[in-house]
Amino acid sequence: MSTIEVGQAVPDFKLPASDGTQVSLSDYLGKKVVLYFYPKDNTPTCTDQACDFRDAYPAMIDCDAVVIGISPDSVKSHEKFIAKKELPFLLLADEEHEVCELFGVWQLKKLYGKEYMGVVRSTFLIDAEGKLAREWRKVKVKGHVEQVVEALKEL
């Protein structure tokens, strides 16, 4: 499961981003980071989640936070998803699930009686010093982003 606990420093990682760069978590030291993991671009629930983060983005910026989404999809898939839904934040491609495994969100899932490995929808709030401040696992999309905004305001 997760090797990172609330209050601990989050290990640095580097992944390819939707803007063609390589992004490291350490690039954002001094800012709060909302890191959300989702299963797949352009699927109904993941689209709802991304659009909720998009719509709440100004409130998160006001809290001196950045939003970063991570899924196993490719950079090319992320580029199309961002263009289609006008997402104002980066999406990172974790095609080898290394960061998903680091956060304990790459797990055995079941759908229609079939078992497979996939991302369990989760969000992590990292403080300006790089420590894990809050986590939400097995997220239900409805109302979730509002919880994240409230946590940012408290941080």
* CA–CA gap between residue 8 and residue 106 (Å, rounded): 20
Paired sense of beta strands 106-111 and 132-136, if any: unpaired
Residue of 46, 51, 63, 100 with catalytic role: 46
| Residue that is written with structure tokens 């982003």 in the block | 145
100 classed as catalytic: no
What is the per-residue DSSP string for 97-113?
Answer: -HHHHHTT-EEEEEETT
Residues 6+ apart with CB under 8 A from 56: 145, 146, 148, 149
DSSP 72-101: SS-HHHHHHHHHHHT--SEEEE-TT-HHHH
- Supply the residues annotated as catalytic: 46
